[in-house]
Structure 1
Amino acid sequence: MDYLENENVMHPMDMTLLAGRLLMAWIFLHEGMALAFNFDAAVTAMAKLGVPEPLVLAVIALQLAAGLSVALGLLTRLGALSLGLFCLSTALLFHADFANHNEILHFEKDLAIAGGMFVLVTAGAGALSVDRFLERRIMASNDKSPRPLRRAIEKGIL
């Protein structure tokens, strides 16, 4: 049976995408919460690296919002793209001291996470996601106009 023949059947790929999304989102949700709950210490530590307080707020917001996006599978590609670019930036800006083995490990970890996020951008969230739920609801309504998120809000789906 073709994967797309029966959308009501649970496929191993759907479970794998869900597990992958949750595992990748966890690091961002955990770190975003840790930074938020220890905000003063985070601002102090980041200031030593030349990161101003407004940027610390933006990082916390990005980690929490995009982390939730990936975990829930809502606007997944956008959340994953944001986090992938964030990881590339972090690797290049903060972990490029290749004389330090620990920094090399952080650099490689950030690259690996970015790679996983870019795969998610390509693959999408899978069947076990808010994205797919909204897609099914919109398709069931026979509304073929562009802007699925706007349609979902206007129809009371989201």
Structure 2
Amino acid sequence: MDVLVLVGRILFALVFLVSAVGHLTQREAMGGYAASKGVPAPVLATVFSGLLLLVGGLSVALGVWADVGALLLAVFCFPTAIVMHDFWKVGEPQTRQTEQVMFLKDLALGGAALALFAFFAYVGDDLGLTITGPLFTIS
């Protein structure tokens, strides 16, 4: 089971790590998109969110306080879904559909991150192939 959880952690974290690289290397372009959504200090917000994705993704993938990393990823996903993918405000049907898919993807990833948080906190130090145990404990 430890190997399956490790592979799952890495695959889950991969989408966040790739996104972190994009946020940090294309911050001006992504900041422009954030500005179009009304995000204050959009380039700074893009860098901050990129760092959040990087830290959370590495934490989950490497198993360093993976519970905290999963929470950081959830903290990213839910506001991003609402602010950046507000499909209910879009009139053009194809763009609306794309934004709705992205909204639902972010909700699903946020939900998975919350489930991973609970899993890591519940299993505790019994989960192998991690560098540290969880910071939180759920009984």
Q: TM-score when scaled to structure 1?
A: 0.69
- Matching residue of 2:131: 130
More helix by share: 2
Alignment counterpart, residue 59 of structure 2, candidates 69, 80, 98: 69
- Matching residue of 1:106: 102
- Matching residue of 1:39: 27
Give the aligned residue type for 1:75: W
Give the aligned residue type for 2:49: V
% of aligned pairs identical? 32
User: Which structure 2 residues correspond to residues 4-153 of structure 1 after superposition, within 5 A?
Assistant: 12=1, 14-51=2-39, 52=41, 53-98=43-88, 100-124=96-120, 126-132=127-133
- Structure 2 CA distance, aligned partners of 1:117 and 1:69? 12
Deviation at 1:39, TM superposition (A): 2.4
- Structure 1 CA distance, aligned partners of 2:75 and 2:23? 20
Local SS of the residue matching 1:130: coil
Cα pair 2:85 2:102 within 8 Å, conserved = yes
Point out the structure with max Rg over C-alpha: 1
Give the aligned residue type for 1:120: L
Cα pair 2:3 2:129 within 8 Å, conserved = yes
RMSD: 2.0
Give the aligned length: 122
> For residues 10-60 of structure 1, what are the alpha-carbon distances to aligned partners after superposition, in whole Å with 9 as ceiling and x for unaligned?
xx2x12221221111111110111221222222222222222222122111
- Structure 2 CA distance, aligned partners of 1:27 and 1:85? 15
Gapped regions of structure 1 (runs ≥ 5): 1-11, 136-146, 148-158
Gapped regions of structure 2 (runs ≥ 5): 91-95
Q: TM-score when scaled to structure 2?
A: 0.78
